[in-house]
Structure 1
Amino acid sequence: MIVKQEKIFDSFFVKRALPANLVDEDLPYFQHEENRCFKSSHQYCLTAVKVISNGVVFNGRTVFTPSLYHSSFKEKYNKLRFKFKSLFFKRVVVKGKVIVAYNEYSNTPGFHWLCDTLPRLFSIKNQLSSSTLLLPYVNDRFHEYVKDCLKIFDTGAVVFLKDREMALVDQLLIPEMLAPTGNYREDIMKSLRSAFRANTLGNRKELGDKIYISREKSKHRKTVNEQEVSGVLEKYGFTKIYLEDYSLWEQVSIMKHAKFLVSNHGGGLSSMLFMPEQARVLEIRSFNDASNNCYFSLASALNLTYYYQFSEKPSESSNRNTNLRVDTKRLQLTIESMLNKSK
């Protein structure tokens, strides 16, 4: 494996706008994310490598670390169990220059695909038409979602790898993450927004300018008092939707016309990517969570006004997948503040 490393972006600094409804006692949850510096990012050119369906790259039996979501994941691919199992993977020969710009977390619609993978593709968009793009095949729904996303690019051939398949590649290009997950290059994110908003491909769908994305159909991060929350938001003119009921381009159209968005912490909030500048976003999130600030950071990168409401966890569970009980009296005050500041 010959590795050639080329810089695609210099290091950069971001200064984020703090939440519009921030109170002094909550400052520690956001202050550490207000000013951040990030290292330069690179692309890697490799030869004679193997790639499995989740985007992990191997030189022989050695993992190429920049292909991982996190370097700590390397351990599981060094275990004898995986090495033995991989001997039976179906080999797929992919000729010519091949691009891989996804990782183990890029296998569902929403946050990691829109905010991690698409920025990587955008960073090398001029090379897409002359290369073969390697992507994961998870299921039919994700397959269609990915194909819809690719319509904002001028792509060449696309090969979808299924589970237990391994691509044999002579020339591979990997653009690394442009920033750690949950952090963004503002110019790239705004360019992505413009690309999506420029064309909704005939799927015109308007549901008003106030949208509530419910997680009622999701497995995790639900609102346990969903009916109470829905009732409050309906009183203020919000339309309740389940994002999974709509195609990608219907989602783009809905959010293109939205000025206000409310949802729990979760992938639905990544659809703020399609909203106009100066729109307002309210994230309902768990108390004592100072680490999951990806949507606060995304709102700032897109020049959206961010609001938050901390909510109780009805049982002990991780911040990442916890259900929430929302204080509806406080929610009314937050919504009124959010709506009044737009006038």
Structure 2
Amino acid sequence: MKLGITNRLVRATHVREAYPHVEPLARLPGEHLPPPAEPRPDFAEEARFLHAEGEATPDMFAAILPDALYHASANILVAGRGRILLDTDNVWQEWPNSPIHRRYYWRDQYLRPTRRLRGTTLALRSPANNYYHTVVDNLPRLFWLHQQAMAGIPITILVPGPYRPWEASYLPRLLPPTARIVEIEPRYLWRSDATLFGSYLSRAMSGHLPRRYLDFFLPRVLPARPRDRRHRIYITRRSAPGGRRVTNEAEVVRVLERYRVTPIALEDLDLSAQIELFYDAEAVVAPHGAGLTNMLYAESIDVIELHPTRAIMPHYYYMARSMGHRYCHLCADEQGRHSSFAVDVAALERTLDTVFPTR
């Protein structure tokens, strides 16, 4: 099919453009970060829009969208066939040069059969669903179900395919009693009597979640005991899927152990054990990766993030600032953000001397 026709068949829009007359059920105004203690690091090119926007969460809202469709294999809402609601795609800004018609194939919009669901539904997942995106993007939308406007309304949570392990652990703690979960077939487009749209509570590539949400979320997941700040953690990626492995990790670990920093493979721990570990953390050293999401469960820790490229991806820079953690970073000189890389051990040791002056 010619490119011009394909462009017209698949278009990008936003909720406020597609539904200009829909009234929000609930709102959450943007929340500003306190000024940074140190100069801001250089951001990777795809994250530089956050230079202007990253100091605050967006203005957020929830609304019922008439006649929206849930595209269950792509995990997005569409305002009629071919009209992609970018507000429901949590990673579209990470691929600024990827045309919308290449990301969402036109046949998926027009030729897939539609199935009907009764009642009000909320789609749980988004296009990216790893541990970070589940905790920072997907689960926070459940916050909208606890707002006054939703009190007493039965809601069906749509999950295409089986649970991820972390979803099975978090969902019972976060869902209201009016919610039920339905596993649906990804190969269909799904239309409901009422589709609840809830904004993501953070910006793309920023782990800054609003305090009102954290005050709701953390008491439901944290241990009910005092903290014991005793763990200095190095998150190894030697068994993690994807890249960003430290190629000189044996040398890095030898240095870290002199500062009583212990290597941990989070893949070996279930979610409860990870939360307990970070709840008692004093410091975390890690390559950029989803395991750093667990800093949400710590209090006033030192974070040393290791990046493969000269410029950082700022997900955890913003998360650390929003949580009151002390953040520093070391960068390598690779070209790709998923590249494996060698850590400058001398620079790491200088940083550790600053963080742990007495060891």
TM-score by length of 1: 0.80
Q: 2:310 aligns with which of 285, 288, 303?
A: 288
Q: 1:280 to 1:57 in 2, by over 3 A?
A: same
Cα deviation code 1:70-110 (max 9, x no counterpart): 387742476443346624xxx554321111254201x22x2
Tell me the residue number matched to 1:258: 281
Q: Which residue in the other structure is 1:42 paired with?
A: 61
Map of 2:71 onto structure 1:
52
Q: Could you report, residue by residue, the CA deviation over 1:23-58 in whole angstroms, capped at 9, with x for unpaired residues?
A: xxx855599479724542122312343312242123
For 1:229 and 1:187, how far apart are their aligned partners in 2?
35
Name the structure 2 match of 1:322: 339
Partner of 2:214: 190
The whole-number CA distance in structure 2 between the counterparts of 1:99 and 1:83 is 20
Structure 1 residue 158, shift from structure 2 partner: 0.8
| Code of the aligned partner of 1:81 | R
Cα distance in 1, alignment partners of residues 289 and 140 from structure 2: 19
Partner of 1:120: 141
- The residue type paired with residue 131 of structure 1 is I
Gaps of 5+ in 2: 1-17
Q: Distance in 2 between matches of 1:254 and 1:15?
A: 27
Partner residue, 1:179 = 202
Q: Is the 8 A contact 1:68 1:74 kept in 2?
A: no
2:24 equivalent to 1:9: no
- SS of corresponding position for 1:295: helix
User: Residues 16 and 188 (structure 1 numbering): CA distance in 2 closer, same or farther, change over 3 Å?
Assistant: farther
Gaps of 5+ in 1: 201-205
TM-score scaled by length of structure 2: 0.77
CA-based RMSD: 3.2
Alignment size in residue pairs: 318
Which one is further off, 91-100 or 75-84? 75-84
Alignment of 1:37-116 (within 5 A): 37-53=56-72, 54-65=74-85, 66-69=87-90, 70=92, 74-76=100-102, 79-83=105-109, 86-87=112-113, 92-105=115-128, 107-108=129-130, 110-116=131-137
1:97 is aligned with what amino acid? Answer: T
Q: 1:18 to 1:111 in 2, by over 3 A?
A: farther
Map 1:122-141 onto structure 2 (within 5 A).
Answer: 122-126=143-147, 127=150, 130-137=154-161
More deviation in 262-271 or 238-247? 238-247
Question: Alpha-carbon deviation of 1:173?
Answer: 0.4
Corresponding residue of 2:10: none
Call closer, same or farther: CA 1:103–1:37 in 2, change over 3 Å: same
Structure 1 stretches of 4+ with a deviation exceeding 6 A read none
Q: Secondary structure at the residue paired with 1:172?
A: strand
SS in 2 for 1:4: coil
Query: 1:86 aligns to what SS in structure 2?
Result: coil
Counterpart CA distance in 2 for 1:165 and 1:118 is 23
Question: CA contact under 8 A between 1:252 and 1:274: conserved in structure 2?
Answer: yes
Q: Distance in 1 between matches of 2:58 and 2:257?
A: 44
Q: 1:305 aligns with which of 326, 345, 352?
A: 326
